[in-house]
Structure 1
Amino acid sequence: MTSTAPAEARELGTAWAAAVQTSGFMPLDRRELQSALVDRAAALLAAVDDAPFAGAGPKAEAHAIGRWLVDAHFTQPPALQRTLTVLGPRLVRADPERGTAVLAALATGYAAALQERTRAEQERVSAAAFAARAAAEQARWASEARFGALFADAAIGIAIVTGEGEIVEVNRALCQMTGHTTDQLVSRPVSRFVPDEDDALRARLREMQAGTRDHARLERPYRRPDGSTIWTDVVLSLVRSPDGSPRYILAMIGDVTERHRLETSLRHQAQHDPLTGLPNRTLFFERLDAALAADGPGRHVGVCYLDLDGFKAVNDTLGHDVGDELLQTVAHRLATELGADRRLVARMGGDEFVVLAEIPHGRDAAAAELDRVAQRALDAVRRPIVLGPHRIAVTASVGIVQRGDGGAGSAELMKAADTTLHWAKKDGRDRVARFDAERHRADVARFELSARMPDALEAGEFVVHYQPLVRLSDQRVVGVEALVRWERPGGGRLGPDVFIPVAEETGLIVPLGRWVLAEACRQAARWRVEHPGAELFVSVNLAARQVREPGIVDDVAQILDETGWPAHGLQLELTESDLMGTTGETLDALHALADMGVRIAIDDFGTGYSNLAYLRSLPVHALKLAGTFVNGRAKPDAGEGDSADEVDLEVLALLIELAHTLGLSVTAEVVETGVQLERLRKLGCDTGQGWYFAPAVAAGAVPPLLQGPVGPS
């Protein structure tokens, strides 16, 4: 495998072999060692980079490699240290969490194999010791010499305890390990050296004294007389009398403090964020799952999900080093001010933090407590942060959820938290949002709608209806506005007010808008063929997202060319707010469209900036006055003396006059009554549309409307 192994594995395996080849006896020559380690380096790289990390597969592979090192006689302490030194940077760099887990599995496998080898040796020592004691009946002087040498000089601590629990013999290694002298241990009850709180070890000793257990193994901390603590691997074996009753308990005790420290360090790295030192998402979900499992009456679980506002701007303008310092400062503040009283502060990644709170109150009291926690988090983030020459002010958005919001499990709860955080962002940032089931259902419905739209467009579920644009002087149709509808299978029509906002948010407005434009132009071309005498233009709404598309001008030109509809017969409508902010390439696109002969109209004028002066710099041909501007506060039967109507009328007249001064035609939207029609005629308004003339109709209903005046005469 070595000759075909990836270059990275060969390089890593070669470096590994060079590092460990002098750390112990090698049954392999250097070439065989290098080949073996290249293969195992490839396996470790695959465990971190390629293999799915669910289950025990990758960790088992690393565990087996650690055991192989011991089997290959690399048992000196430098062997493991050099192995981790060579492998660590590469595996952790690829994926910190997975790399750390693989290194931990390798170290655990190595320690377990080494411990098993040591234990086997110890058991052989122990067996020899007892054999020597048995042989002492026949040759006491020889057996005592052999036993003394083996027992006294063993590297592992050994104690012999009677069936009644009295220590009768200890060796030198045990005294050195525990910090006690032989006199302090021998003839003392073993229970005196077992901590009161160590119920498990006490229980195992009692079972052996009762003869109900023959073997036991535990890993336990032991506090020495000098106050230091060591970790020990305790193996207990029961020695029975010929009649089967308990006679002795043999205790073999190994010092595993260094291994325990290594495992603890690796576990900490796997569960904590290296930048901020806070618990990471792995530890957070462990604690959340545990809290939800323990949740019950009088105890509630809540989550505050926090995201910094504008953090990307800090990274982009001041650099990632400053961004990292900012995250560290925010993390320290949150941990200091919120990391107590059964709360866990964790970093989820990027600029997202989360506070898990376990609150021993009723649900309403818990909700109030979560509100206070969220507000304290906002206050902590808002305080300006000084980093070198920079004084940075940032804010945060927080989403609050409690158990049961969105579902029962941790995954569902965090989905709800993420949704709620998004609401806080969407509602203006620097604020707290609480989970709202109704709003969540609406969001889910909108998401399902957006997911269905591409297939619906492909399946032809969208249709275009047309509302006449009527010349007010003679009430004849001079144009139509194309309005899209969604005819869902099985019945049920959706109006544009339902799905257009979703399409604009998701970007689906671009393909949908292109289809509407092409369909309207094709239909208008058919009408022209069927009614050659009709002078008709078609007006199509254009979203801001469409105008910002780099190929919008080419798209319109291509559609006009494919459908045969003339550019002067097309009017594109943009809302006032979309049009007034156009600059740069977007404005150039509008000028290019106007130069082609396409008319540009401002839709719903009067609901936004209403900046007539700005219109002089835009390629605009028409204004469409918003329905509220046309209606004002006037009632259809209001008298001429109504002061409110007079004000509305004067404003409307001024708008029409200024528009005409700028060379713009004026269309009044939502014309619903004869009174409104007469007012608009007197004011010189050019065209109108609304239910007074006709609603939006299917394409087949348009030709009859071209035959004469529409609406009541």
Structure 2
Amino acid sequence: MSGTSEGPVPRAAQGPGAGRPEVTQRDQRRPDLSELRDYRAAFAAAALPMAVVDLRGQIVRPNDALGGLLGADPAALAGQPAADLVGLSSDGATWRAYNEVLRGTRPRLRCTRRLKHADGRPLWAEVTVVPMGDPAAGADRVLLSVADVGERRELSERLRHLRTHDPVTRLPNRALFLERLAAALETTAPRESPRAGDGTGPPHGRIGLCYLDIDGFQAVNDTLGHHTGDRLLAAVAGRLTECAETGGHRAGGHLVARLGGDEFAILVEDSSGTGQLTELARSVLAALQRPFEVSGHRVSVSASIGVVERSSAGASATALMQAADTTLYWAKADGRARWTLFDPERNAHRMTRQALSSTLRPAVERGEFTLEYQPLVGMADGVVRGVEALVRWNHPRFGLLAPSRFVPIAEEDGTIVQLGRWVLRTACRQARRWQLEHPGEPALFISVNVAVRQLRDSDLVADVAEILTETGLEPGLLQLELTESAVMGSSGRPLRVLQALSDMGVRIAIDDFGTGYSNLAYLSRLPVSVLKLDGSFVRGFRYEDGARPSPADETIVEAMVQLAHRLGLTVTAECVETSGQAERLRRIGCDTGQGWLYSRAVAPERIAELIGTGTRPREG
């Protein structure tokens, strides 16, 4: 049978709009009155406080929940400014954002406000304002809703308190302290004072820190246990808080925090000056020195306190904490149980020392060091017998540095072993060069300073043997100088090293003799060949500048020279500056002299000019 079917068109044969519901005029119109009544009923009965607000910001229709929240008849709220009822006009940023929503230029406003409930209790509420309908089509109403977020906020506050407070002492922790410090630096700005500059009014725009740790706390932990240690920390926190409240010029006193371990800090915002901080430090020190009763034990501790006080202008939290940490280190290094005030000059010296320490080892590898030589002259004839090698550092930033600037640092970090080996090799090579260049003259001996760490941390005997072989210098032309304090306590390995060097033929000299232990019993045990008298004795021989020489110094020097000669030792006098000193030292019996009378430390070329000649005395 042919023809067209009158039945429904199969779905596969339908066009692009197949299967979609037909859009009628009824679907495009607004809800009918019954639907509106349903919406309004739901709105009025909703538990969430809400209100419809017109574009002027006035309430058009509040629900019952909003009336209950504010303690007012909902009908009486109509026509009132919504912003005033829920605090949207309390700050500029929120007020501007609210008006942008009303104008349709902002899609939403959400903020937290502290309101007052109808029953009188405070209420933390999240206020939301959104357009009703499509903003692009020009919505003529906005919906305001108010959600109680008190429990959520309380939980957030509890979590924040746990994150920002120390559980043992209940004090603010490091994170909160640094947050408060940064905020104080931002808000503490210099202000004009009617008495500014007359010395009577307090300076404004300043900030201060007392940074401390507990001396002896580790011993409490080790002997009485961590439980007692925690109780002690809590007791310390209590006393610090008392000091801060007593010394605070603002309500609530100063901020006390535990930064970790046994470290605490007190922040003084808007400090009135150094005097306020030092007085606070004194009170803290006195409070902590009183015994504590914890866990049935009577515990005595003290504190080391670093004090920093400065203008907040240009200061940073990082710089303040670094200064406080440095000053606390000074307090501990100075003997503990004290407070120390930040000293810019001392800090500059520390920074320079730190800069030298960080570049010392690479400087040895880069060859930034050089040697100068100071003559050792025979007192009887004025002829140069030997030279002392003195190392200098050609620092690219600080210029030519004397040994006193960097040798102590090298001894601390161990670089002295590497540097000392370079000095020894360079000095022996130079001594051998002089010997070869002047074969007809008596060879000069070379004297090299050796640090005690070289005796302990390196194979000095092997180094010396290798260098003497490498340079061809005879062992008898090498003299190693050690300070009296290093030599006089020698035993064990250091003593065996000195003995091996002496057996090799190397001469051992004691430098600065007479200022250290001066234990003469050691002279009979140690393989010493030379005593170098400290310059403080020689200076007492001067008649110049109206000063009379010290008879005691001359008697002591004479006795030491006689003793040394009886033991078969030679004596060198350091710091000889005048011909008068030289004459008396010669008369007493000193063998050699060293000092500005003869020559300062000079380059090796200048020493070559003096070989085989008598030095002409120069008044220094």
Normalising TM by the smaller chain, what interval? 0.7 to 0.9
> Does residue 357 in structure 1 map to residue 265 in structure 2?
no
Aligned-partner Cα distance in 1 for 2:522–2:230 = 44
Q: Which amino acid in structure 1 is aligned with residue 507 of structure 2?
A: R
Q: What's the CA shift for 1:454?
A: 4.2
User: 2:281·2:305 contact (CA, 8 Å) conserved in 1?
Assistant: no
Q: Which amino acid in structure 2 is aligned with residue 267 of structure 1?
A: R
Q: What's the CA shift for 1:158?
A: 4.1
Q: What's the CA shift for 1:626?
A: 1.0
User: 1:636·1:676 contact (CA, 8 Å) conserved in 2?
Assistant: no
Q: What's the CA shift for 1:520?
A: 1.1
Residues 609 and 696 from structure 1, CA distance in 2 versus in 1: closer, same or farther, beyond 3 angstroms?
Answer: same
Paired residue for 1:652? 557
Select which of 416, 421, 429 maps to 1:509.
Answer: 416
Aligned-partner Cα distance in 1 for 2:144–2:543 = 100
> Does residue 500 in structure 1 map to residue 411 in structure 2?
no
Aligned-partner Cα distance in 1 for 2:459–2:221 = 29
Q: What's the CA shift for 1:656?
A: 2.5
Q: Work out the percentage of aligned pairs sharing the same amino acid.
A: 41
Paired residue for 1:463? 370
State the SS of the aligned residue for 2:457. Answer: coil
> Does residue 253 in structure 1 map to residue 169 in structure 2?
no
State the SS of the aligned residue for 2:596. Answer: coil
Aligned-partner Cα distance in 1 for 2:445–2:96 = 97
User: 1:164·1:209 contact (CA, 8 Å) conserved in 2?
Assistant: no
Paired residue for 1:314? 219
State the SS of the aligned residue for 2:518. Answer: coil
Aligned-partner Cα distance in 1 for 2:234–2:501 = 51
State the SS of the aligned residue for 2:424. Answer: helix
Residues 476 and 455 from structure 1, CA distance in 2 versus in 1: closer, same or farther, beyond 3 angstroms?
Answer: same
Q: Mapping of 1:333-412 within 5 angstroms?
A: 333-338=239-244, 340=248, 341=250, 343-359=254-270, 365-388=272-295, 389=297, 391-403=299-311, 408-412=315-319
Select which of 179, 186, 190 maps to 1:296.
Answer: 190
State the SS of the aligned residue for 1:574. Answer: strand
| Cα shift readout 1:222-273 (whole Å, capped 9, x = no counterpart) | 4556676553322234669xxx999976443333334323433343344344
Q: Which amino acid in structure 2 is aligned with residue 543 of structure 1?
A: A
Residues 203 and 603 from structure 1, CA distance in 2 versus in 1: closer, same or farther, beyond 3 angstroms?
Answer: closer
User: 1:622·1:664 contact (CA, 8 Å) conserved in 2?
Assistant: yes
Aligned-partner Cα distance in 2 for 1:280–1:460 = 48
> Does residue 610 in structure 1 map to residue 518 in structure 2?
yes
Q: What's the CA shift for 1:668?
A: 1.0
Q: Which amino acid in structure 2 is aligned with residue 403 of structure 1?
A: S
Aligned-partner Cα distance in 1 for 2:397–2:558 = 48
Q: Which amino acid in structure 1 is aligned with residue 516 of structure 2?
A: G
User: 1:346·1:353 contact (CA, 8 Å) conserved in 2?
Assistant: yes
Pick the structure with greater CA Rg.
Answer: 2
User: 1:399·1:424 contact (CA, 8 Å) conserved in 2?
Assistant: no
Q: What's the CA shift for 1:516?
A: 1.1
Q: What's the CA shift for 1:396?
A: 0.4
Residues 497 and 371 from structure 1, CA distance in 2 versus in 1: closer, same or farther, beyond 3 angstroms?
Answer: same
Q: What's the CA shift for 1:669?
A: 0.6
Paired residue for 1:677? 582
Q: Which amino acid in structure 1 is aligned with residue 244 of structure 2?
A: L
User: 1:381·1:396 contact (CA, 8 Å) conserved in 2?
Assistant: no
State the SS of the aligned residue for 2:273. Answer: helix
Paired residue for 1:264? 157
Q: Mapping of 1:228-243 within 5 angstroms?
A: 229-237=122-130
User: 2:173·2:257 contact (CA, 8 Å) conserved in 1?
Assistant: yes
Q: What's the CA shift for 1:653?
A: 1.7
Q: What's the CA shift for 1:337?
A: 1.7
Aligned residue pairs total: 560
State the SS of the aligned residue for 2:239. Answer: helix
State the SS of the aligned residue for 1:289. Answer: helix
- TM, length-normalised to structure 1: 0.66
Aligned-partner Cα distance in 1 for 2:244–2:497 = 52
Select which of 286, 296, 304 maps to 2:179.
Answer: 286
Q: What's the CA shift for 1:429?
A: 4.0
Paired residue for 1:330? 236
Q: Which amino acid in structure 1 is aligned with residue 179 of structure 2?
A: E
Aligned-partner Cα distance in 2 for 1:165–1:650 = 107
Q: What's the CA shift for 1:420?
A: 3.8
Aligned-partner Cα distance in 2 for 1:231–1:494 = 67
Q: What's the CA shift for 1:168?
A: 4.6
Q: What's the CA shift for 1:170?
A: 2.0
Aligned-partner Cα distance in 2 for 1:416–1:438 = 12
Paired residue for 1:538? 446
User: 2:53·2:61 contact (CA, 8 Å) conserved in 1?
Assistant: yes
Alignment RMSD, CA only?
4.5
Aligned-partner Cα distance in 2 for 1:280–1:688 = 63
| Cα shift readout 1:100-149 (whole Å, capped 9, x = no counterpart) | xxxxxxxxxxxxxxxxxxxxxxxxxxxxxxx9xx8573x3xx76567646
User: 2:88·2:98 contact (CA, 8 Å) conserved in 1?
Assistant: no
Q: Mapping of 1:67-106 within 5 angstroms?
A: none
Aligned-partner Cα distance in 1 for 2:67–2:529 = 98
> Does residue 690 in structure 1 map to residue 595 in structure 2?
yes
Aligned-partner Cα distance in 2 for 1:158–1:454 = 74
Paired residue for 2:604? 699
Aligned-partner Cα distance in 2 for 1:685–1:650 = 13
Aligned-partner Cα distance in 1 for 2:312–2:100 = 50
Aligned-partner Cα distance in 2 for 1:205–1:470 = 90
Aligned-partner Cα distance in 1 for 2:334–2:102 = 70
Aligned-partner Cα distance in 2 for 1:354–1:384 = 21
Aligned-partner Cα distance in 1 for 2:421–2:495 = 19
Paired residue for 2:3? none
Q: Which amino acid in structure 2 is aligned with residue 254 of structure 1?
A: A
Q: Mapping of 1:429-578 within 5 angstroms?
A: 429-487=336-394, 493-504=400-411, 507-531=414-438, 534=442, 536-549=444-457, 551-578=459-486
Q: What's the CA shift for 1:545?
A: 4.2
User: 1:288·1:410 contact (CA, 8 Å) conserved in 2?
Assistant: yes
Aligned-partner Cα distance in 2 for 1:490–1:210 = 62
Aligned-partner Cα distance in 2 for 1:210–1:448 = 59
State the SS of the aligned residue for 1:359. Answer: coil
Aligned-partner Cα distance in 2 for 1:583–1:658 = 23
Q: Which amino acid in structure 2 is aligned with residue 461 of structure 1?
A: E
State the SS of the aligned residue for 1:677. Answer: helix
Q: What's the CA shift for 1:603?
A: 1.5
State the SS of the aligned residue for 2:276. Answer: helix
| Cα shift readout 1:61-119 (whole Å, capped 9, x = no counterpart) | xxxxxxxxxxxxxxxxxxxxxxxxxxxxxxxxxxxxxxxxxxxxxxxxxxxxxxxxxxx
Any stretches of 5+ residues in structure 1 without a counterpart?
1-130
Q: Mapping of 1:134-153 within 5 angstroms?
A: 137=33, 139=34, 144=37, 148=41, 152=45
Aligned-partner Cα distance in 2 for 1:694–1:204 = 84
| Cα shift readout 1:503-555 (whole Å, capped 9, x = no counterpart) | 44555434322211221122223334445663543221123444442545554
Q: Which amino acid in structure 2 is aligned with residue 650 of structure 1?
A: T
Q: Which amino acid in structure 2 is aligned with residue 355 of structure 1?
A: I
Residues 338 and 473 from structure 1, CA distance in 2 versus in 1: closer, same or farther, beyond 3 angstroms?
Answer: same
Q: What's the CA shift for 1:645?
A: 3.2
Any stretches of 5+ residues in structure 2 without a counterpart?
1-26, 194-203
Paired residue for 2:537? 629
Q: What's the CA shift for 1:629?
A: 0.7
Aligned-partner Cα distance in 1 for 2:225–2:502 = 45
User: 2:307·2:339 contact (CA, 8 Å) conserved in 1?
Assistant: yes
User: 1:238·1:249 contact (CA, 8 Å) conserved in 2?
Assistant: yes
User: 2:597·2:617 contact (CA, 8 Å) conserved in 1?
Assistant: yes
User: 2:51·2:60 contact (CA, 8 Å) conserved in 1?
Assistant: no
Aligned-partner Cα distance in 2 for 1:196–1:230 = 12
